Amino acid sequence: MAAWSSLPVEILENILKHLTEKDVFQCQLTCREWEKTSLKVAYTYVHLFNSHKLNCFIRTIKESPKLPGIY
């Protein structure tokens, strides 16, 4: 039986897109292979409904060098 970590990125990404936000963030903790894909899916669409969420999001971007698109 093949390991879940060997699942093609495209298939994993498609699966993650159907999960809740909470579940996607939990998938980051599964293994290193899933972390990058989970982060990409989690931050594809960001909804900031109040200033607290905006401030948390800005802090996350500043403090997380692993986020997609951050160099």
Q: Is 5 helix (H, G, I), strand (E, B) or coil?
A: helix
pLDDT confidence of residue 13? 93
For the chain (71 residues), the mean pLDDT of every run of 10, in chain order, is 76 94 90 86 85 87 68 43
pLDDT confidence of residue 57? 84
Q: Is position 16 within any domain?
A: yes
Range of the domain at 33: 9-63
Q: Is position 24 within any domain?
A: yes
Q: Report DSSP letters for 9-57, one per residue.
A: HHHHHHHHTTS-HHHHHHHTTT-HHHHHHHHHHHTTS----SHHHHHHH
What's the total number of domains in the chain? 1
Q: Is position 3 within any domain?
A: no
Q: Cα separation of 1 and 70, whole Å? A: 36
In this prediction the pTM is 0.66
Q: Is position 50 within any domain?
A: yes
Q: Is position 1 within any domain?
A: no
